């Protein structure tokens, strides 16, 4: 589980998008309402994508994308 827990400030990966993340970027995955749901939770998806990232992820994604360009 630890290997898929990724800091929300970590650089973007090619799989990241405004609506999904590679791995889990929640501060505490244990409190995520989607934790354990197959096909939505990164820990229970074959592609390791979280399809329900934190509500703040879209804004964080844009910030990381901007930093990537600089």
Instruction: Please report, for the chain, the start and end positions of each structural domain, with discontinuous segments joined by +.
Output: 17-69
- For 18, the token pair is 């405004």
Model pLDDT, residue 38: 96
Q: E strands within 1-70? A: 21-22, 49-50
Q: What is the mean pLDDT of residues 33-58?
A: 96
Query: For the chain, what is the mean pLDDT?
Result: 94
pLDDT over threshold 90, residue 11: yes
Q: Residue 21 phi/psi, 5° resolution?
A: -130, 150
Q: What is the dihedral of CA 25, 26, 30, 36, to 10 degrees?
A: -60
Q: Is pLDDT larger for residue 23 or for residue 3?
A: 23
- CA dist 70 and 54 (Å) reads 25
Q: What is the pTM of this model?
A: 0.88
pLDDT over threshold 70, residue 1: no
């Amino acid at each position: 589980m630890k290997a898929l827990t990724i800091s929300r400030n970590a650089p973007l990966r090619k799989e990241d998008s405004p609506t999904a993340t590679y791995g889990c970027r929640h501060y505490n995955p244990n409190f995520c309402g989607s934790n354990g749901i197959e096909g939505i939770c990164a820990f229970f998806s074959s592609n390791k994508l979280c399809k329900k990232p934190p509500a703040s992820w879209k804004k964080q994604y844009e910030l990381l994308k901007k930093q990537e360009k600089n």
